[in-house]
Chains A and B, each alone.
Chain A
Amino acid sequence: MLVVVTLAIFGLTSAAQPHFALQGNISFLLASAMPLAVVAVGETVVMLVRGIDLSVAPVLGIAAVSTGFIAQDSHVSVLSMLPLALAIGIGLGFVNGLFVTYARIPPIIATLGTFTVYGGIEQLICNSRTVVTLPTSWINLGTHDFLPDVPYILVPGVLVTIAMALILWRTRWGRSIYAFGANAEAAFRAGIRVKAIEISAYTVCGMLAGLAGLIYVVQVGSAGYNTGSEISIQLQAIACGLIGGTTLTGGKGGVVGSFFAAIFLTVALEGVIVAGIAYQWQSAGVGVLLLVAILIDAYQNRQGRSVSEALRSVLGGHKPVQQEASS
């Protein structure tokens, strides 16, 4: 359904402004959705354990400026910076996990705190410099396609999404994530090591935010003291999770939806600009989409079924799950 809406927006915008569908633009849209997509995949893992991570924006930023400065100064390859980006993310995500799991601070408060701290660290690293002149190899990777309309940047995003989807659905760890989110007490009693699971969710989220930082700097070609926070990527990522069908109440949803939601959100926002609406409307647009997603989430919690199920049952053909009345 999300794919349909995305294509519809794309189609409408292209009809109004034919250059929207030019070859280079499709590629650009997909590429510019990838940092968000990777952050959203990580955020989704945290949402599945009934958490929330607001600090992904500066985590992305720190990874972007750290790898960007090194590349700018010493012309290293992108791949050689991958371990650094991941390590930054893992470290910062683990700290979030410690606060939530062991200090028992509610995730929204803990990560609001680390959001500010990490943002400060990002500024310290920048020290009023910005990443502007990346090596040519980096620029090429960020702007070239390896197939028509398929940018290189798409590859890590797709790989991460597929890998996380498989891990979540078909490994013991993934199962534990869902079980913890659905009912932490029952999960503990079913023999799941709940603290390790919760902390690992934040660590994975941080790691993917770090990876997204590297993708970001490659794709955009610059980074600065407020990279990530500037576009409130943490809110966009949460919106992607919600739009993609993951709930804030845990245990339900998945990363594939979040990936497509990221593309959807990017296309919708770019569409706004191309359609001739002032870019200042963008953040209002994110807000509206977020609210719509939250309304859908609330509806699903109330009805016990997803919107697409409800639509299908209204349109006929699909019989909804029967709910037995409790007595």
Chain B
Amino acid sequence: MSVIVKRARAAAALASDRTAEEYAPARYEARTITKSFGGANALTGASVTIEPGEIHTLVGENGAGKSTMLKVMAGIHPQDSGDLVLNGTHLRGLTPRTAIGHGIYLVPQEPSLMLTLSALENLFVGIIPRGSMAFSVDWKAMESSAGAYFQQVGLHIDPWAPASQLSIAEQQLLECARALAHRCNVIFFDEPTSPLTAREADVLFELMRRLRERNFTIAFISHRLEEVLAISDRITVLRDSRVVAHFDNPKQTSHRQLVEAMVGHEIAVRQRRQRDLSGAEAVLELKDLGAPDGAFADISFMARRGEVLGLAGLVGSGRTETAESVFGMRRASGTVLLAGKPYAHRSPSSSIESGLIYLPEDRGHNGVFANVEVVRNITAAFVPHLPKRGQLLHPRAEVEVAEKAARRTRVVAPSLDVPMKALSGGNQQRAMFARWLLAEPKVAIFDEPTRGVDVGAKVDIYGIIDTISDSGVAVVMISSELEELVLLCDRVLAIYEGRIVGEVTGDEITLERLGAMVVGGGASERD
């Protein structure tokens, strides 16, 4: 308590020019941590030591225990057993509040700001300096010291703007600034880059490197192995709640070594398929699709039977908005043709009826019914066609339908009667695929189908996409991971600022080419 009060006073007193204040280097150890949730082990005797001046990355599949480890170390979850030792001192009964008192801060996966409050209040929440009267707030002190923190993390924002107006990337930087304002020098980043574009992620990495130079103690979680190998000083691999490998020299480590440590066995390297589909009929055609709010304009393309068509673009480039307009979730001008026929009054329900499905990108918000059984999650879009007895649905037949679909997409669950939230991200996504395949689509739009899923699920999802495209479904695949577009697609369109800026086919689809196209450059001319 007194530590916190002191830190609060220190923060309040901090003048704007005292930015490069020195911190005592912090060596933070987690020793043989065990933690279980409702009987399932999230961590089993796992140990990690994070040294000052290093970026220490935790990798592993979903459910391996990475997040849990950092949350235990930041006092969010109390451990069942094991010790947390900071510079030789045992930390007991750690809570987020006392953790901050010790200088430990976790930047969560999703920024947890108070969206209706200003950036300034968010920055100082918990240590808001007092004014001249005991109950008043010293707004001036807050405003004058805030600039320094914003500057340190590279944020250029109006301190009085509500946090809801900030982009996700800015919200994350604000979280980092909050860590600094709270005088923390042990900072954890729990999968910060998954909602960010490549450029935004670079800004964050730059900040992490600057903090490393200042001898901060930094832990990081990511599923993007390229960036892990690029930024880490050390890597710890977790699998099934245990620490299974350390890589002390990431520069000498290959992507493949890392993946094999994560999944625990050797993996096959996928080859891209060579198919000639130029003769196949067009099942989906867009003509001059435009959004009233200008999110996209003049979008024209077609997808052929059996084709995997990639839509490459940065987050916010209009990919998702285009897909949602086709599916009938938002209005757009222009024409959509399904199997050659105009499809005018679009709505999700009529799209599904006509064999057009859309797997949304934000699974948690837009896809799953978290508290509902897996069975009903799988059959949700198929209820009109479920077997009936008289006017009533047939529960056992429904379970059979769901089980069959779940087997097709290899959902791993203790039972299909458990609530959806009991499954890992990868298995939730497999169940979502099961749902949409039940609708027997002719055109399937997958929006970031592998976001937040582990390596094993990714391979399965690629397999599903191969299978359904072989069976004649036109797949439109939206992805920020250019590697998977290269691996999966027969043709890729690049969208930049709401317009199609390029198209590549077959062997022209390379990482370099796509990378240039999504930022609006190096586009090949379209006919």
Instruction: Please tell me if B395 contacts chain A, counting CB pairs below 8 Å.
Output: yes
Indicate which residue in B60, B369, B394, B418 contacts A321 across the interface (CB closer than 8 Å): B418
Q: Is the CB of B365 within 8 A of A251?
A: no
Would you list which residues of chain A between 150 and 184 have a CB under 8 Å from chain B? 166, 169-172, 175-176, 178-179, 182-183
Tell me the chain B residues, 363-388 only, with Cβ under 8 Å from chain A: 365-372, 376, 380-381, 383-384
Q: Which one of A172, A175, A323 lies within 8 Å of B422 (CB-CB)?
A: A323
Instruction: Answer yes or no: B320 CB below 8 A from chain A CBs.
Output: no
Q: List the B side residues contacting A189 at CB < 8 Å.
A: 327, 329, 348, 358, 360, 366-367
Residues of A close to B419: CB separation below 8 A = 304, 321
Q: Which of B40, B370, B371 has the most CB of A within 10 A?
A: B371
Contact between chains at B435 and A190 (CB < 8 Å):
yes
Question: Given A178-B372, A186-B365, is A327 in contact with B62 using a C-beta cutoff of 8 Å?
Answer: yes
Q: Does B53 reach chain A (CB closer than 8 Å)?
A: no
Is A187 interfacial (CB-CB < 8 Å)? yes
Residue of A nearest to B454 (CB): A327
Contact check, B67 vs A251: say whether CB atoms are below 8 A apart: no
**Is A321 within 8 A of B422, CB to CB?**
yes
> Measured between alpha carbons, how far is A186 from B366 in the docked complex, in Å?
4
Q: How far is the CA of A175 from the CA of B40 in the complex (A)?
A: 31
B contact residues around A146 at 8 Å (CB):
none
CA distance A192 to B381 in the complex (A): 8
Q: How far is the CA of A196 from the CA of B229 in the complex (A)?
A: 51
* Given the contacts A326-B63, A327-B68, A251 and B371 also touching, CB distance less than 8 Å: yes
What residues of B have a CB within 8 angstroms of the CB of A251 in the complex? Answer: 369, 371-372
Indicate if the CB atoms of B63 and A327 lie closer than 8 Å. yes
Q: A251 to B392: give the CA distance in the assembly, Å.
A: 20
Given known A-B contacts A251-B371, A322-B414, A325-B42, A191 and B422 have beta carbons under 8 A apart: no
CB within 8 Å of B: which A97-149 residues: none
How far, in angstroms, from A169 to B35 measured CA to CA in the complex?
Answer: 38
User: Judging by beta carbons under 8 Å apart, are A327 and B60 in contact?
Assistant: yes
Point out the residues of chain B lying under 8 angstroms from A192, CB to CB. 348-349, 380
Cα–Cα distance between A222 and B521 once the two chains are bound (Å) = 80
Bound complex: CA of A319 vs CA of B35, how far in Å?
19
- How far is the CB of A293 from the nearest CB of chain B, in Å? 18
Contact B369 A182 (CB under 8 A): yes
Q: Which of B421-480 contact A (CB under 8 A)?
A: 421-425, 435
A325 with B68: CB separation less than 8 A: yes
Contacts of A325 in B (CB 8 A): 35, 37, 40, 42, 63, 65, 67-68
Interface size class, chain B: 35 or more
Contact A183 B369 (CB under 8 A): yes
Q: Tell me the smallest distance from the CB of B454 to a CB of chain A, in Å.
A: 9
State whether the Cβ of A83 lies closer than 8 Å to any Cβ in chain B.
no
- A185 is an interface residue with CB less than 8 A from chain B: yes
Given the complex, which residues of B lie within 8 Å of A304, measured CB to CB? 38, 371, 419, 421
CB proximity to B under 8 Å, residues A185-223:
185-193
Contact A324 B424 (CB under 8 A): yes
Q: Name the one of B368, B394, B395 contacting A186, with C-beta atoms under 8 angstroms.
A: B368
- B367, B369, B376, B425, most chain A CB atoms within 10 A: B369
Chain B residue nearest in CB terms to A303: B38
Set of chain B residues within 8 Å of A320, measured between Cβ atoms: 38-39
Q: Please name the residue on chain A nearest to B241 by beta carbon.
A: A325
Contact A193 B349 (CB under 8 A): yes
Q: Is the CB of A324 within 8 A of B369?
A: no
B352 at the A interface (CB under 8 A): yes
Contacting residues, chain A, for B392 (C-beta < 8 A): 166, 170-171
**B89 located at the interface, meaning its Cβ lies under 8 Å from any Cβ of chain A in the complex:** no
Inter-subunit contact B372/A179 (CB<8 Å): yes
Whether a CB of chain A sits under 8 angstroms from the CB of B66 is: yes
Across-interface contacts of B67 in A (CB, < 8 A): 325-327
Q: Is B391 engaged at the interface, CB distance under 8 Å to the other chain?
A: yes
**Distance in Å from the Cβ of B103 to the closest Cβ of chain A?**
25
Q: Is the pair B393, A171 in contact by a Cβ cutoff of 8 Å?
A: yes
Q: Which residues of A contact B60 (CB under 8 A)?
A: 327
Bound-state Cα–Cα, A185 to B40, Å:
30
B435 contact set on A, CB distance < 8 A: 190
| Complex contacts, A171 vs chain B, CB 8 Å | 391-393
Q: Contacts A170-B395, A171-B393, A175-B383; is A322 near B38 (CB within 8 Å)?
A: yes
Q: Which residues of A contact B381 (CB under 8 A)?
A: 190-191
| CB closest residue in chain A, given B413 | A324
Q: A190-B348, A325-B63 in contact; A183/B38 too (CB < 8 A)?
A: no
* Closest residue of B by beta carbon distance from A166: B392
CB closest chain-A residue, reference B348: A191
| Chain B residues within 8 Å of A322, by CB | 38-40, 414, 418, 422
Let me know if B351 is at the binding interface, CB within 8 A: yes
A300 to B62, CA, bound (A): 26
Residue of A nearest to B36 (CB): A325
- Nearest A-chain residue to B358, judged by Cβ: A189
A187 to B376, CA, bound (A): 12
Looking at A179, A320, A324, A327, which has the most chain B CB atoms within 10 Å of its CB?
A327
A183 to chain B, nearest CB (A): 5
Kindly supply a per-residue 1/0 record for chain B positions 37-77, scoring 1 wherever the CB is within 8 Å of any chain A CB and 0 otherwise.
Answer: 11110100000000000000000111111111000000000
Interface centre among A172, A178, A188, A325 (most CB of B within 10 A): A325
Q: When chains A and B are docked, how far (Å) is the Cα of A326 from the Cα of B370?
A: 13
Could you say which of B66, B376, B391 contacts A327, with CB atoms under 8 Å apart?
B66
Q: Specify which chain A residues have a CB less than 8 angstroms from the CB of B61 in the assembled complex.
A: 327
A326 to B414: give the CA distance in the assembly, Å: 16
Most buried by A among B38, B39, B370: B38
Contact A178 B422 (CB under 8 A): no
The residue in chain B whose Cβ has the minimal distance to the Cβ of A249 is B371
The one of A166, A172, A323 in contact with B384, judged by C-beta atoms closer than 8 angstroms, is: A172
Q: Contact at B371–A182, with CB atoms within 8 Å?
A: yes
State the CA gap A35–B38 with chains docked (Å).
Answer: 41
Q: Please indicate the chain B residues that have their CB under 8 angstroms from the CB of A175 in the complex.
A: 376, 380, 383, 393
- Chain B residues with CB under 8 Å of A326's CB are 62-63, 67, 424-425
Residue of A nearest to B35 (CB): A325
Question: Restricting to A271-293, which residues have a CB under 8 Å from any CB of B?
Answer: none
- Interface contact B68-A183, CB-CB below 8 Å: no
Could you pull out 19 A-B pairs where Cβ atoms are within 8 angstroms? A175-B380, A175-B383, A183-B369, A186-B369, A189-B329, A190-B348, A190-B380, A190-B435, A192-B380, A304-B38, A319-B39, A322-B40, A323-B37, A323-B40, A325-B68, A326-B424, A327-B42, A327-B60, A327-B61
Given contacts A186-B365, A320-B38, 10 further A-B contacts (CB under 8 A): A169-B395, A171-B392, A172-B393, A179-B372, A183-B365, A183-B370, A189-B366, A190-B348, A190-B381, A304-B421
Q: Which 9 A-B pairs have the closest CB atoms?
A: A325-B42, A182-B369, A170-B392, A191-B349, A191-B352, A190-B381, A170-B393, A323-B38, A322-B40
Binding site for B on A (CB under 8 A): 166, 169-172, 175-176, 178-179, 182-183, 185-193, 251-252, 304, 319-327
